[in-house]
Amino acid sequence: MTYPFSALVGHDRLRLALLLCAVRPEIGGVLIRGEKGTAKSTAVRGLAEVLRAADGASLVELPIGATEDRVVGSLDLQKVLRDGEHAFSPGLLARANGGVLYVDEVNLLHDHLVDVLLDAAAMGRVHVERDGVSHSYDARFVLIGTMNPEEGELRPQLLDRFGLTVDVHASRDVEVRSEVIRQRMAFEVDPSGFASRYREEDGALARRVAAARAAVGSVTLPDNEIRRIAALCAAFDVDGMRADLVVARTAVAHAAWRGADTVAEEDIRVAAELALPHRRRRDPFDDPGLDPGQLDEAMAHAGESSDSPGSDPDPDPDPQPPGGDGSSASSDGASSQRTSGSATRPSAPPSAVFRTRALVVPGVGEGAPGRRSRARNRTGTVVSSTSDVEIGHGVHVFATLLAAAGRQTTAGRPRPEPADVRRAVREGREGNLVIFVVDASGSMAARDRMSAVGGATMSLLRDAYQRRDKVAVVTFRQDQARLLLPPTSSVYIAGRRLARFDTGGKTPLAQGLLAARDVVVREKARDRARRSLLVVLTDGRATGGPDPLGRTREAAARLVAEGVAAVVVDCETSHVRLGLAEQLAHQLGAPAVRLAHLRADSLTDVVRTAA
């Protein structure tokens, strides 16, 4: 029994976004972002029941592990082998036609599959050209994706392809939370009885959706409102024209939803609130969301522009530069405290983020698809075939037919047997676990140097985001190491944690390395296929405790024993170089690169990929 859509407590904006996309699927779907336990999936399944009542639409769920063949369709191998017929077998997108396609944890779906889904949602059709098959079919559906930002972000290019986004959060209002508990417990005690109490409300929504769908084609979008939309999108400096079109389609759908025959300013405001926030995030470190005050000002300017066709709207309604809220203010005035005789102070703000060259793990792995190191996985390019089902990904049709033909002793069509089946060996790229080990001790705490280290780390974090890695951050200072950030796919959260942290004190380098090893061991237990890359940012000076150099060598040896690939970023800046970071790199069997050489235009092949 599905929890009724009308019984959801709160989440008014989420429900409206879902209903508008049901009225006009050309909007491009809804991306629902929110922490776990915020009724994301419950809302989607409730909407599916409303649409089932409205026009018989069905809900199709796309699993995270689905292959491209399963999504778009492929050659019908059974008919090829049994009947010799060149036939096509449609995929999940064909089943979703006229209904709802739901992707839970869409941020964990492979990028190329997300592209396929969004293209289909925008065009309403799927075109397949593969395995000697040319096929096309209708795929008009309401696309809904849900995600927990703590588990990783979609790339901005993919975010832009979703028509609308909604951020959902658990209410902090006690009365609202109490009502959620009452409703859910009542549903669990008597699902059928609970659903029957909301049947009429859900039925009314279904009828309203059907009516809005019928009316949406006749809604008028006046020229002055078109100019308002164009001015509004220009004011927010969004890339391309997709935002303008999505706002226009959503405004028309909202007008139809409220029973109007002409788009008004209120429709455009609702559309902007749903369509623009995610299109302003050009960088993984940008804050999500849309400032209501800035939207008010932009709407006012847009209104002036729509009233005066010859006017030139102000493209920047908010003159404050990024970060102008004081969050990156200097910490010079911050008071320092004494701990064990050493000063503790916040780290300096990171210097400018730059483009860095890729660091890769040697060898060929078998981890989750990504964009860093070489790997054999299901999304790579076919390089050979194999009879080993543990190695291959998907059936290699032609190799299978060749194996059957080679065994055949009489003329005629090959008749493959189970032993003839060959699987495709694919080679592509994988995402890794990148563990940043940052020296936060007193020897590194000079303001300019720590700022440079922060900027370098943020640059590497952005690179990890683009290459679909998980990241973890360990800092060490005083007499201990701290896991500043457990492994996560959310580079945004990592960037927030690294923006400011305590510095000063001695240099427990060994503890930092051992803490990183602990992270590696724990993650191996969770995902043995994901390989780790250790990035150590330090000047190599080990102090504190008995035999700090000996303990560092021992910690490095333990990391080597785990098979961890590493890179040491040498942060030493003195004119007389001690070369301690280079010694650490030697102990780790890793290359060393100076901090100043980390930029893409000066860094050469830091870690070479082994065949």
| 260 and 302 share one domain | yes
**Distance in angstroms (rounded) separating the CA atoms of residues 74 and 226:** 42
| H helical segments located in 150-264 | 156-159, 174-189, 191-197, 199-215, 223-235, 242-257
CA distance 467 to 360: 11
Q: What would you report as the CA-atom Rg of the chain, rounded to the nearest whole angstrom?
A: 28
Copy the structure tokens of residue 4: 């009724």
Q: Does residue 519 fall inside a structural domain?
A: yes
Same domain, yes or no, for 141 and 280? no
Judge whether 9 lies within some domain: yes
Q: How many domains does the chain have?
A: 4
Query: Considering only CA atoms, which of 124, 125, 157, 160 is closest in space to residue 24?
Result: 124
The pLDDT tens digits of the residues spanning 245-304 come to: 999 999 999 999 999 999 999 999 999 999 998 887 666 666 667 778 888 888 888 777
206 and 120 fall within a common domain: yes
Active site residue 355: no
Query: Which of 191, 218, 245 is the last residue in one of the domains?
Result: 218
Which residues neighbour 66 within 8 Å (Cβ) at sequence distance 6 or greater? 92, 113
Please tell me whether residues 205 and 274 are part of one structural domain.
no
- The pLDDT value recorded for residue 215 is 96
Q: What is the pLDDT of residue 448?
A: 61
* pLDDT on residue 266: 94
Same-domain check for residues 55 and 190:
yes
Report helix angle 223-235 to 265-275, nearest 10: 30
**567 φ, ψ (degrees, to nearest 5):** -135, 135
Would residue 332 count as lying in a domain? no
Q: Are residues 473 and 506 in the same domain?
A: yes
Q: Residue 376: what residue type?
A: R
CA distances (Å), 145 to each of 26, 165, 462, in order? Answer: 15, 9, 24
Residue 518 lies in a domain: yes
Say if CB 490 and CB 284 are below 8 A apart.
no
List of the chain residues with pLDDT < 70: 77-86, 130-133, 156-157, 281-288, 305-345, 347-358, 379, 412-413, 444-450, 576, 600-611
Query: Quick check: is 13 in a domain?
Result: yes
Q: What pLDDT score was predicted for residue 320?
A: 43
pTM over 0.75: no
pLDDT at 187: 95
Q: What confidence score (pLDDT) does residue 307 get? A: 64
Identify the pLDDT of residue 93.
92
- How far is 107 from 159, CA to CA, in rounded Å? 10
Q: Is 478 helix (H, G, I), strand (E, B) or coil?
A: coil
Interval 448-458: pLDDT, tens: 666 777 777 77
| Range of the structural domain that residue 203 is part of | 5-218
Same domain, 402 and 465: no
pLDDT of amino acid 603: 40
Q: What is the pLDDT of residue 357?
A: 61
Nearest CA-CA partner of 537 in 603, 447, 457, 418: 457
Catalytic-role residue among 130, 177, 242, 497? 242
pLDDT of residue 190: 95
* 8-state DSSP, 333: T
> What burial class does residue 323 get, using C-beta atoms within 10 Å of its C-beta: 0-12 exposed, 13-18 middle, 19+ buried?
exposed
Identify whether residues 259 and 170 lie together within a single domain.
no
Q: How far apart are CA 387 and CA 408, in angstroms?
A: 18
Are residues 556 and 440 part of one domain? yes
Q: Are residues 401 and 273 in the same domain?
A: no
Does residue 445 share a domain with residue 590? yes
Question: What's the pLDDT score for residue 313?
Answer: 42
Q: Which domain-ending residue is among 190, 218, 246?
A: 218
Question: What is the CATH classification number for the domain harbouring 111?
Answer: 3.40.50.300
Of residues 421, 366, 414, the one with CA closest to residue 388: 421
Phi and psi angles of residue 433, each rounded to the nearest 5 degrees, phi first: -95, 110
23 with 123, same domain?
Answer: yes
For residue 599, give the H/E element and its range: none
**Within 10 A of 239 (CB to CB), how many other CB atoms are there?**
13
Q: Would residue 72 count as lying in a domain?
A: yes
Residue 37 lies in a domain: yes
Give first-to-last CA distance, the chain, whole Å: 53
Q: Which domain-ending residue is among 218, 251, 269? A: 218
d(CA 215, CA 219): 7
Output the domain CATH number for residue 256: 1.10.8.80
Residue 305 counted as domain residue: yes
